[in-house]
Structure 1
């Protein structure tokens, strides 16, 4: 719905595009702007100056290297692609009809697009043992610190005469949760040893905030990705882990679905052996469960029933993830590189 505040807040931004809205509808941080010149999407973001430049570069570069399924940006009348207004940043895009409704086969299309972006931008990095060691030690140290925090929470809960329902639920799954954390650390160690043995490390352009909600469809039915605000050069596992962790939180998600999508991804971009180990480690670490404890300790406004429901939902999702990772480690996927094999051929790209 449109309010006087909408025109007051977004009018100065739309002035940079010579747009004068007849109506503005809110869809979270995206505003549907209806004008005599057409309908547009105005996205609100939080980016520093350097991040704004990188964001614009990513969108333009993707099109240049052959990925045309990205939602384009409209330039202002001054040639800029973002507008800074106070502490916020805005950018303008075409409005896609599917912004208002879900489309079928989103998971398949999303996986295809991630694989395509990764294959177009992949680059073998100069391997440096010190860099690999630093990355390994940082993540291992962070995970061990998180485990210590959760062990401390457990000790305090056990000292209570009467534990809250949330604490009882967490404690009943504590040992299983810690086993998942140890599994994650073992896989992280396998990744580290594999990198040192093979002396290789690949980086790709990662979307950085993978979500089905960031996939829109045009009237012709073609999917387009948007929200590259968190795009970064990193291991392809970053995007995959984010996708699978979110997917597993759907109660309807099945392990076979995950394998089918991962195989679909690998038809375009096969993972290296050590990248698979890193994927298992990222997925296995029970950070969602630990985050539920953090929220509980921060005096959330949720009731005991609500916080227990959140925790139980995350415990169920992590069980699905654990089963997925166990099968992934036992049964190598087609095209997977085993320790000692040479890296598969690929088109070395850049971003």
Structure 2
């Protein structure tokens, strides 16, 4: 191995694997390692990060889900090697071929995520008390946020001269309020639909779904990497952060994103109550409220232009999300109506 092209630290780690490395390229936390038996990816993670994710990967393999880039064991059977206060694990290097357009790649990602959730789904007993507690806690938090934006609006309107931020907030207020009402209504609907329900569904979550963590091989098949945040939880927890990032753009119609969601739902259909909760969480405008709170709690002079830009970006997210949840709500109501008409005929 040529140490001019390879850090000694990684060289010591790779000695613990049955490979003969001779060259490496640096990609930050990941090193691309060339060897006599092929190309590998060596990833460095913080030692405080648990290696429980290996157990989740193995569990998914056992369930028959194999669209995961495997983690190789070291000579002594360990799946992560501790060296100089860092953990390392080794995988095959995925070429990440880009034959398809962006939308097709996203559709494949959502299809594979749905398959992963389907194969790992578990029904868990849940008490009425736990559900009611979750409902009341969420509603209380949202009502507190609503109280804040109403109070902030009043304080802005009481001024003789509003700041640029305050004026912009007042212009956005109606849509913020409507989003809160929609989210609360869907949360209420979820609560009603689950009153008699004694079980809830959990899945193995990837924990950090993104296009950077879904790579393609030379045949065009997609594989997930980076399972370090994997855990058991509601399938909604994998979807929401990804969708929020995808919708945080300049104003646009989110029809493409609606298509991705329905690709996912084709392979992992939500129950009616899950759909209500999903729409509720997706609709709630927490980002724009955070920005208003930061402005309200400011201790000194702030850069008005920067704060207005922050507010504007969150407003775009709010508008884009509003379009998506409204369309999904319409589509779900149409499906329900068609089902009822079919049953009557």
TM tier, smaller: 0.7 to 0.9
Question: Cα deviation per residue 1:133-177 (whole Å; 9 max; x = unaligned)?
Answer: 222233333334444555666667667776554444334313421
Change in Cα spacing, 1:77 to 1:279, as seen in structure 2 (3 Å) is same
CA distance in 2, matches of 1:338, 1:125: 31
1:136 paired with 2:131, answer: no
1:31 paired with 2:31, answer: yes
Report the CA distance between 1:213 and its aligned residue: 1.4
- Helix, strand or coil at the partner of 1:267: helix
Q: Is the 8 A contact 2:22 2:35 kept in 1?
A: yes
Q: Is the 8 A contact 1:20 1:35 kept in 2?
A: yes
Greater gyration radius? 2
Change in Cα spacing, 1:81 to 1:312, as seen in structure 2 (3 Å) is same
- Helix, strand or coil at the partner of 1:134: helix
- Helix, strand or coil at the partner of 1:42: strand
CA distance in 1, matches of 2:281, 2:86: 32
CA distance in 1, matches of 2:218, 2:89: 22
What is the TM-score with the length of structure 2 in the denominator?
Answer: 0.81
Q: Is the 8 A contact 1:22 1:36 kept in 2?
A: no
Report the CA distance between 1:123 and its aligned residue: 1.9
Change in Cα spacing, 1:65 to 1:9, as seen in structure 2 (3 Å) is same
Unaligned runs of 5+ in 2: 341-345
Change in Cα spacing, 1:87 to 1:127, as seen in structure 2 (3 Å) is same
CA distance in 1, matches of 2:336, 2:200: 15
Change in Cα spacing, 1:159 to 1:265, as seen in structure 2 (3 Å) is same
Q: Equivalent residues in 2 for 1:260-271 (5 A)?
A: 260-271=259-270
Report the CA distance between 1:235 and its aligned residue: 1.8
Change in Cα spacing, 1:75 to 1:256, as seen in structure 2 (3 Å) is same
1:201 paired with 2:200, answer: yes
CA distance in 1, matches of 2:160, 2:166: 12
Q: Is the 8 A contact 1:211 1:243 kept in 2?
A: yes
Report the CA distance between 1:317 and its aligned residue: 2.2
Question: Cα deviation per residue 1:308-344 (whole Å; 9 max; x = unaligned)?
Answer: 334323211221211221232233178779999xxxx
Q: Is the 8 A contact 1:194 1:339 kept in 2?
A: no
User: How many equivalent residue pairs?
Assistant: 333
Report the CA distance between 1:85 and its aligned residue: 4.2
Q: Equivalent residues in 2 for 1:30-179 (5 A)?
A: 30-46=30-46, 48=48, 51-52=50-51, 54-85=52-83, 88-98=86-96, 104=101, 105-147=104-146, 165-179=164-178
Q: Is the 8 A contact 1:206 1:236 kept in 2?
A: yes
Report the CA distance between 1:56 and its aligned residue: 0.6
Q: Which residue of structure 2 aligns with residue 317 of structure 1?
A: 317
CA distance in 1, matches of 2:158, 2:11: 57
Report the CA distance between 1:86 and its aligned residue: 5.5
Question: Cα deviation per residue 1:203-232 (whole Å; 9 max; x = unaligned)?
Answer: 112222111111101122211011112222
Q: Is the 8 A contact 1:272 1:337 kept in 2?
A: no
What is the TM-score with the length of structure 1 in the denominator?
Answer: 0.79
Q: Which residue of structure 2 aligns with residue 332 of structure 1?
A: 332
Q: Is the 8 A contact 2:24 2:33 kept in 1?
A: yes
Q: Is the 8 A contact 1:273 1:338 kept in 2?
A: no
Question: Cα deviation per residue 1:67-90 (whole Å; 9 max; x = unaligned)?
Answer: 111111111222111233465433
Report the CA distance between 1:198 and its aligned residue: 3.8
Unaligned runs of 5+ in 1: 341-351
Change in Cα spacing, 1:329 to 1:38, as seen in structure 2 (3 Å) is same
Across the aligned residues of Structure 1 and Structure 2, the Cα RMSD in angstroms comes to 3.6
Report the CA distance between 1:190 and its aligned residue: 1.4
Change in Cα spacing, 1:148 to 1:77, as seen in structure 2 (3 Å) is farther
CA distance in 2, matches of 1:65, 1:337: 36
Q: Which residue of structure 1 aligns with residue 7 of structure 2?
A: 7
